[in-house]
Structure 1
Amino acid sequence: MHIFHKTALRLLVLTIAFFLAFPFMASAEGRVALLIGNSLYDRPEMSLRNPANDVTELDIALTELGFSVRKVQDADRTEMRAGLAWLAKAAKDTEMAMVFYAGHGVQVAGENYLVGRDLQSLSFDALERSSVTLSEIRKVLSESGTALGMIILDACRNNPLSDAGVGQTGLASVRGGAGLLVAYATDPGNVAYDGEGDNSAFTTGLLKNLASPHLDVRLMFGRVRQDVVRETSGRQIPWVEESVLGEHYLVSPPDSNQNSDEIVAWRDATDAGTRDALDQYLGDYPNGLFQAFATERIEQLSLDRDDGLTNVQATTQLASLDADDVRAALDLLGYVNQERGIEAQPEGLTDDIKRAFEVWRRAQLVPDTTDANMLLRDAARLSMFLAATTAQRIRTDTVIRSSIRKHLELASVDVAQIRKLALTSEEAKSFLPEVEADLDAIRQDYERVAQRLDASLTYYHKLVVSASKHFQSQIRPDLFWQNNGTSRSGLVEPSLFEDAAQFVRHVRSASSRAPGSYAWLTDFLEQG
């Protein structure tokens, strides 16, 4: 780029700012990582191109993030276990401890085996002699006392073991213990790709997002998932199982004074369930995505008065329904919240739940003809509205993010050329601070959109999981525009119909996939 094209960079910044309707270094200590990359196997047909490259690149990236790293390449079982022994000592009471494995993995009877270099034959006995198990790794991390244990498995490649009937293709999902996150290159039972370049598709996504600032590790893996789904055209969908306590950042936590994304603010307001929280949301976002829903919930709260409510009818009507489904429906509709004292969520149809149902029933136009199944239909309908609204935000931000990414890549190349020119040209040197500032502004805009997309995808996923678990039998396309006597029936816009129907498909397909699958993400690829 010619040095006088600095004006183009500034115009680009202004153009991007036009699209942005909504407004995110501490040093790290006590971080350790064991990286195992098995590329060259004693059985030549099992050798892989990228695992050694993957751990080499991760070694550099993690060291820059303050990790003490031990790298093990083309290892047999003895060498892998020696690495685990090192980790058991190094990870004691640390901030973070990570195990990354790239190579062949196979599941047998629910256990995941990470295959060492020295596999001698395609048999279960040989597999046991040459592998370490995921259970062994989990045990080391759980006993270390680390605040966050991470197991990252880029080990779902197809291999002769599964082809020979020793175990199943891919890996089996497992629940992590408290403070443990397990990330898989692809969802349970599927195959990951070794990649056409120097790294696998999954590790490429990991390297790209590992050093993202202000990003909790769960959201960081969410971005990895987005990149892998896009790069593989939906053939590979990374998977995360976690029971992580609190938030954990690889690079600098966000400023606590920063404004929340609107979807985060809406989620927080509905989780609190109080009028003050909803008023705060409306004050911050008077014309927001969920303005009508917030107004309706405030109206619902005003109906909640102790004026002779009885639980007799509620007990009778709710008897045929699952208590968890009832609670989920009342929660989504805004009748269960901390203000009503149901925060602890005891099991069964408690008096508070029965009373909340009576409040909901009384809010209907013809309470005496309202039954408990209508509660689930009402919640299913609201799920569809919220999901369709969120989907439209996802589609918009996916397009914006893609556009900014392309401009960022081009601008980065141009600025790099100006930096090179600045070594010998005073004129170029004089322009350099300005164009670098413009490039930094583009990066910040990209990050704002990426964070907003993180929040939208997380919320949409929550709606899919909840609806598939609690309202799947009630969810159907025609429910979206049925008039049930509430103000929501007047909110339907033609543009929401397609996204509502898509949500129905996502909910229905969720039952055929492992719980919590992000397979629905592939439907947002076309704007990626």
Structure 2
Amino acid sequence: MRYLTIGLSLLCMALTANAAKADRRVAFVVGNGAYRNVAQLPNPPVDAKAMAATLRNVGFDVVEGTNLTRDKMTEKLLDFGRKAQGADIAVFYYAGHGIAISGSNYLLPVDADLKSEMDVKLGSAINIDVTLDQTMGDAKVKLVFLDACRDNPFAAKIKSNSPTRSVSVQAGLAEMKSGEGTLIAFATGPGQTALDGEAGANSPFTRALIAHIAQPGVEIQQAMTAVRAQVNEETSKGQLPWGHTNLIGAVYLNPSAIPPATTAAIPSGPANAAASSSGEAELEFWRSVKDSNRPEELNAYLSAYPNGQFKSLALARIASIDSGTSNNATRAVAKGVDPAVFTEEGTQVSEDQIGLDKAKRRDVQRRLTGLGFDNKMTGIFDDETRSVIKRWQAARGYPSSGYLTRLQHKALLAEAQPAPATASVGEDGTRLRRAAKPSGNVATGSAPPPSGAPVYRNPPPPDNAGNAAGAAFIGGMMGGVLGGALRR
């Protein structure tokens, strides 16, 4: 019965995952901060990078841009409009300056120079209503997030240049109503201004969006309730996000949680799914900023992941940038290792040049396992080992190809190994070990098991015929399911 319950749970997960992949998801993500004619905003480009990584992690095709001129922004919008035609879910996210003139809202490219109402309406600014209608009109579900409720930097100039007519120039953005199948969310209420947050970090609104909208199994309207609560608390009730919703069904950006009916059978399933999603989002975010020479982008990572697995690398890079050292010296390497290890990408050829025989390959696998990147020590670099090498490379800030270079191999040999644990290795290379006071691993964020608890790579063998029969039944059922999926 236990195997039947687990099998049904896995079947539900497989069907849910296939349904998510069948959805066509498109997103437009832009953050404008480097304005040429008014004060710059340090956070919107950082916000856009974080949001793009979050959406990609749950299957969105993202049209992304930062610090775009009017022409470049139009190009991105045209691309997004083509991709969004007939999409199941289309997301529009913008961070930067936005203004409201006579009840209409406009987004501002970085080259905007608004001297009058005519400049706003006939060229320099982008009308939000027209943009959403033209780019997302055919999408089944439309989600709009506007982190643009800041003071209008051109307000005084526009008013002074319109002496013959009354021009309504509002603070923040004007109220908008959503059409069928649409959710519109503002960083704060109509006519109010939102906080940009600490320079170089995420704004309160975007930080809350990233934290909640892609949580496994959380419906988007539930997520927005959590977003409002977080922003309200973070800003000491100084800012309350506002929105208008006309969705006609439940919308999930990440439907991959185990259904509630099965959570009793596998209690750790949803937690593991959430942890996996969060880990992939963090890795994507880190990859987007790890080579940056701008401390504010690295600080954005630290703001989003204050205890992240790349925290030490981010701090080291910020420190080296602040001290004026060269780009190649921005990450700590062991003594005697060439900093070029961070730029040279491994290939099959570069790995062959190292001359790794089977014993040396087992040594690589042993060292990676000792650092918390568990894999079988077979002396064969199969797909599993390649994946482990990629994770190790990404955690160290090296180009993550899955193949080693001489410099990477040298750096691995130079890494200090944790205290040895009592271990045995089966004939198939499976590592069975009892940890001796493990300390975890800072770079990967792996947590140590309870002291003295056995840690197995694979589960122990079945201890009775009933378990074996149950396993055979589930194996046959899942094989049929997967086979049918492949034939389709």
TM-score by length of 1: 0.45
Which has more helix, going by share of residues?
1
Larger RCO (CA under 8 A, 6+ residues apart): 1
TM-score by length of 2: 0.48
